[in-house]
Amino acid sequence: MYRDNLIGANAFGKHFSVKDKNRSVLQEQLILKYNHDEQTLYIKWEGEVSSNELRQGYAHIMNMVLTYKPQKWIMDLQNRLSIEKEDQQWVFKYIFPQVLRAVNKNVFVAIVMPVFAYNSLVNEIDGDELMDGDNFMIIHHFLYQEESRRWLLEMAETDLKIA
């Protein structure tokens, strides 16, 4: 399901399957929750995250995506240390397309992060990763979580009117 053509294996590589409930939980680096009232997936990464931990974390995230099909995300990266360029590209090339296919609607991602980190995040993508048929992943950068929540509410209302 999560094919990584670069390594010729599952996109989560040799780490584990998304359905593997016994995988280690990144209790110090990753906080995940789904708010049913807001219909929003909250993702908070903290500290230093290795490539292996990043893939473990995104397996947890994909499990949430497959369960709740969230169109609205708040991804808080304010306290996460930089990750390798290859890991950033892996997320855009393999995870985000899978998210779009799983949700099968537009997905709005509000990323809360320091300004200095934003350019490195979007500098290497061409945009094809953020489209699946008529559905798009729309990513916007924010300095504060409350600001991101207002944007998500506005985008969800606009998306519902268009649909």
Which DSSP string do the residues of 19-73 spell out, in sequence order? Answer: T-TTSPP-TTTEEEEEETTTTEEEEEEEE---HHHHHHHHHHHHHHHHHH--SEE
- Going residue by residue through the chain (163 aa), what tens digit of pLDDT does each one get? 333 333 323 444 444 444 444 445 566 789 999 999 999 999 999 999 999 999 999 999 999 999 999 999 999 999 988 888 899 889 999 999 999 999 999 999 999 987 666 555 555 556 667 888 889 888 888 888 899 999 999 987 877 555 4
Q: Report the candidate in 128, 122, 127 with the shortest Cα–Cα distance to residue 88.
A: 122
In degrees, to the nearest 5, what angle opens at C-alpha 130 toward C-alphas 16 and 5? 40
pLDDT of amino acid 12: 45
pLDDT value of residue 113 = 85
Output the domain CATH number for residue 71.
3.30.750.24
Q: 149: domain range?
A: 3-162
Tokens of 92: 């855009």
Total structural domains within the chain: 1
